[in-house]
A and B are shown apart, each in its own frame.
Chain A
Amino acid sequence: MIATLQPSHSLEPATSGLVVANLESVNKNYGNVRALRHVNFGVRAGEVVALLGPNGAGKTTAVKLLLGLLLPNSGRVRVFGGDPTNPENRMRTGAMLQVGRVPETLRVREHIDLFSTYYQKPMPTAEILAAAGLEKLRDRKFGELSGGQKQRVLFALAICGDPDLLFLDEPTVGLDVEARRMLWDEIRQLVSRGKTVLLTTHYLQEADALADRVAVINQGEIIAEGTPSEIKAQTAGKRIRCITSLNISVLRRIPGVTEVKEDREAVELHAAEAEPVLRELLARDSTLSGLEVTSAGLEEAFLALTQDSSNNGNHSN
């Protein structure tokens, strides 16, 4: 359904960039609940990485470890080559976290004024307001804002120190389509200024629209990693449906076919790439009819991935 979405920016993924933040063999438990299991994950300078997973997969935990708000039970967390709690690092990072209640009686510009003060070289207030689309709301009290507007204030607080590295934890959760697209535009503008971004999301569309690289996380483990198109190819690929006289066991042996299902009079094949399989099919069966080739969306890819990895693991946040 969303397979044709392209990242908005044409830059190549910064595969050669310096790793600015990473988790090395990190385990994190909350009591008996294993939130992260042996996670290795890195973000390179200048890239936008999406940590994609369902609720409770461990996304927020990963972000909080990288922000130095949590300590791992084992493994190592590095940001800019140092400890994430290093205060100099906090000068260079910005964070948008999920917050239950922000002080509601302060005005938008007052919140921004206070956070800007913490940094050595804050962005000018006018730029922050513009970047977050808050110019008209600057004198509004936080409690008077809509959900989307509140998210934009949190976004403004994350960027007000003009950080090199930005963590966005579920930036558009609970927003309507319009508000979500607005925030995406704001994130893209930041990216075009060379910022490194790690965002978590459970919206596949969001990862596809914003990220250079996607890491799929489920039940505390990274189960797939790659560009959005690689993730799609790796898992779902193409679905080929046709009516053929070839029997199932023959179909299964065609190179590239990962799955075969009978569907009434037709069969449905799954393959990473359709073309080689089609050549083979047509060569072997001249009576083949009713051919349909569709590509599975990222949504399906994601479901396939997370269902594959679902065993009896624990859920946590």
Chain B
Amino acid sequence: MSTATMILSNAQIRRSPRHTATIYLKEAKYEFLKNLRLRMYTASVLSFPIMFYILFGLVLNSNQAIGGLRVPTYLIATYGTFGVMGASLFGTAAGLSSDRGLGWLQVKRASPMPPFAYFAAKVVTSMVFSAIIVLALFTLGIALGGVRMPLADFARLLGTLVAGSLPFSAMGLAVGYFTGPNSAPPTINLIYLPMSFCSGLWVPFMFLPKVVRQIALVLPPYHLSQLALGVVGAGTHESTAAHWEVLIAFTMICLGVARIGFQRDQEEMYG
């Protein structure tokens, strides 16, 4: 029987829409709780962007400006992007590679769980953690950094960054399918840290060397941070549409890679 029918047939269980919705909700709820209680996850993914923001945005440079924008406002966009990227990459890749490599995913696959619920839960959980990080930055910025802007802009910034979780979740799924339980975290760090630097998430983009700025043009976090900066009035380069197009294309490529991994797993599971 082909892979396609294996996947399709699983969608054919006759369940009420209400029952299906309950499964998706619970899968997401427990994925969220699982990560929330995982100190490795919360300590690195949640606290790094927040600590960086407090240090570089509130303690050290709060009276300065970058490109006409006050530092506390500017850094919400860039550390927001950094936080979203970390939450999404670790949230999907680490769990997926471990579940695949250590047998847990097989237990789930042997059950009547709709396979898509598993992936949806990871993506939704990444978006929720992304929102938590961004809202924490907003709160700190407003309370301690004097960040002021119309409520609609806060909402747009939040929406942009949370939507920006999707390309990185897709990337995380691809990484999760091609790494093992032990190699996933270092692989993510190897992608995530250099990308953050080159995309201007730590050092503002215009202060980066020209070579690095050239590289940044092909990096998804650069495009997401430019979209976020655009909301607060500091976007510098291409049009909004061009940034979204790059992010959508990147998402599609990552999903394609993840799908190859998914099919490979369906066809030959080991031992």
Chain A positions within 8 Å of B, measured between CB atoms, are: 30, 60-61, 64, 67-71, 83, 85-88, 90-91, 93, 95, 97-103, 105-106, 110, 113-115, 117-120, 141, 154, 157, 161, 167, 316-317
Asked if B194 is at the interface of the complex by the 8 Å CB criterion, the answer is no
Compute how far the CA of A118 lies from the CA of B109 in the bound complex, rounded to whole angstroms.
11
Surface stretch bound by A, among B20-28, B46-54, B145-153: B20-28
* Contact between chains at A90 and B271 (CB < 8 Å): no
Q: Which of A88, A95, A106 contacts B34 (CB 8 A)?
A: A106
| Given A90-B112, A100-B102, A64:B269 Cβ within 8 A | yes
Min C-beta distance of B41 to chain A, whole Å = 9
Most chain B Cβ neighbours within 10 Å, of A86, A105, A106, A113:
A105
Residue of chain A at shortest CB distance from B117: A118
Residue of chain B at shortest CB distance from A96: B107
Residues of chain A within 8 A of B104, CB atoms compared: 99-103
Residues of chain A within 8 A of B34, CB atoms compared: 103, 105-106
* Contact between chains at A95 and B271 (CB < 8 Å): no
Compute how far the CA of A113 lies from the CA of B25 in the bound complex, rounded to whole angstroms.
12
Chain B positions within 8 Å of A, measured between CB atoms, are: 1, 6, 9-13, 15, 19, 22-23, 26-27, 30, 33-35, 37-38, 98, 101-104, 106-107, 109-113, 181, 267-271
* Contact between chains at A95 and B111 (CB < 8 Å): yes
* Contact between chains at B110 and A95 (CB < 8 Å): yes
* Contact between chains at A99 and B112 (CB < 8 Å): no
15 A-B pairs besides A30-B270, A102-B104, A120-B19 with CB distance below 8 A are A64-B106, A67-B110, A70-B268, A85-B1, A100-B102, A103-B34, A106-B30, A106-B37, A110-B30, A113-B26, A113-B30, A117-B22, A119-B112, A120-B15, A161-B112
Task: Name 27 A/B residue pairs within 8 A (Cβ), A-sorted.
Answer: A30-B270, A64-B106, A64-B269, A68-B110, A69-B106, A69-B109, A70-B269, A83-B1, A87-B11, A87-B12, A88-B13, A90-B13, A91-B13, A95-B107, A95-B110, A98-B103, A100-B102, A101-B181, A102-B104, A105-B34, A106-B33, A106-B34, A113-B30, A114-B26, A120-B15, A157-B107, A161-B111
* Contact between chains at B271 and A154 (CB < 8 Å): no
* Contact between chains at A87 and B111 (CB < 8 Å): no
Residues of chain B within 8 A of A85, CB atoms compared: 1, 6, 9-10
Residues of chain A within 8 A of B268, CB atoms compared: 30, 70
Compute how far the CA of A161 lies from the CA of B107 in the bound complex, rounded to whole angstroms.
13
| Given A61-B271, A100-B103, A161-B112, A87:B9 Cβ within 8 A | yes
Compute how far the CA of A68 lies from the CA of B35 in the bound complex, rounded to whole angstroms.
29
* Contact between chains at B15 and A100 (CB < 8 Å): no
Compute how far the CA of A208 lies from the CA of B11 in the bound complex, rounded to whole angstroms.
40
Residue of chain B at shortest CB distance from A93: B110
Query: What are the nearest 9 A-B pairs in CB distance?
Result: A100-B102, A105-B37, A317-B271, A101-B102, A99-B103, A95-B110, A87-B13, A90-B112, A67-B110
Compute how far the CA of A68 lies from the CA of B5 in the bound complex, rounded to whole angstroms.
12
Compute how far the CA of A221 lies from the CA of B267 in the bound complex, rounded to whole angstroms.
23
Residues of chain A within 8 A of B101, CB atoms compared: 100
Compute how far the CA of A115 lies from the CA of B27 in the bound complex, rounded to whole angstroms.
9
Residues of chain A within 8 A of B10, CB atoms compared: 85, 87
Compute how far the CA of A115 lies from the CA of B102 in the bound complex, rounded to whole angstroms.
18
Residues of chain A within 8 A of B27, CB atoms compared: 114
* Contact between chains at B33 and A105 (CB < 8 Å): yes
Residues of chain B within 8 A of A86, CB atoms compared: 9
Residues of chain A within 8 A of B30, CB atoms compared: 106, 110, 113-114
